[in-house]
Amino acid sequence: MKKREKGKLRNDHMKPYWEKEMEAIRKVVLSGENILSSHILDQMKKRNISVQEVAATLLNGKIVEGYDIGDYFGYRNPDIFRTVACELSEYYFIIVGLAISYSGSAVKIENLNTVYSRSNLQKRFYA
């Protein structure tokens, strides 16, 4: 199991492709495809996060972290993992973790892994 490097806030795996990946994420959201598993819906309910907030995050946010297969600290991720963040109001962020894969050059959204909100994050990290 890998550990997060001391002082390293995020990983930039395949960063030049993040905008292409965000385009694929937005396309899935706009298509109306259901990508909300029962696990994510449970997390949203417990954390008082609405479907609209998750959709707004995926449509307007940006990728702030990227991990290759097996590189996410504390978890053996079987897919590429991305963290998408969006500031919905001043210092109120929604953060969505999702798994993606590539089929040739096409990006596929595998699933949403986690969702949470923060009101006290350092803006520079997610800006």
Average pLDDT for the chain: 87
Cβ partners under 8 Å of residue 3, min gap 6:
73, 74
Distance of alpha carbon 43 from alpha carbon 4, whole angstroms: 24
Nearest CA to 50 among 122, 58, 12?
Answer: 58
Strands 92-103 and 80-89: antiparallel
Identity of residue 116: Y
Q: Which range among 56-65, 69-78, 110-119 shows the weakest confidence by mean pLDDT?
A: 69-78
Q: pLDDT tens digits for 74-102?
A: 778 899 999 999 999 888 899 999 999 99
Q: Are 92 and 117 in contact (CB under 8 A)?
A: yes
Q: State pTM to two decimals.
A: 0.86
Q: Is the pLDDT assigned to residue 1 strictly greater than 50?
A: no
Helix (H, G, I), strand (E, B) or coil at 32: coil
pLDDT of residue 121: 59
Would you say how long the chain is, in residues?
A: 127
